[in-house]
Amino acid sequence: MALYEHVLLARQDVSAQQVEALVEQFKGILEANGGSVAKVEYWGVKSLGYRIKKNRKAHYSLLNIDAPPAAVAEMERQMRINEDVLRFMTIRVEALEDGQSVMLQKRDRDERGDRFDRGGPGGDRFDRGPRRERPRREDEATETPAGEA
């Protein structure tokens, strides 16, 4: 059987429990057609890059699938019919990832506060040393701007 990564975007106005029920429904379709779902990850509600069917946000879910192509085709057909599904994408992969996906690792890192913070505009510059005093030219101290004399 082939290995797939499948990402599902559901409407923002459905609840997280309804999204889990949708995922379970599609998981059942795969299992009925001889496939299996190795891992399911709920990534939460995220902003979309552009509006899709008048939605600015969507629930994101990832499924790691081990199934024949016919089972995946049937699942995608059911997704096209379902009005709660905004978009989906299935990609065939050589091997499925173990552990958390990159999206969940990023969310965990953000919650812990491990991100590198430069301190905002004018903040500490950790990638450079401290600023040095600029040497003054001799004629700068004696010159007066035009119109001030």
**Could you read off the pLDDT of 69-123 as tens digits, one per residue?**
999 999 999 999 999 999 999 999 998 888 878 887 777 777 777 655 555 555 5
Closest by CA to 76, choosing from 117, 26, 129, is 26
Mean pLDDT for the stretch of residues 4-12: 94
Would you say residue 144 has pLDDT above 70? no
Closest by CA to 77, choosing from 88, 66, 68, is 88
Phi, psi for residue 87 in degrees, rounded to 5:
-150, 160
40-65: per-residue pLDDT in tens?
999 999 999 999 999 999 999 999 99
CB atoms within 10 A of CB 148: 5
75-84: per-residue pLDDT in tens?
999 999 999 9
Per-residue model confidence (pLDDT) at position 37:
92
Question: Rounded to the nearest 10 degrees, what angle do helices 69-81 and 16-32 cross at?
Answer: 140
Domains of the chain: 2-112 (3.30.70.60)
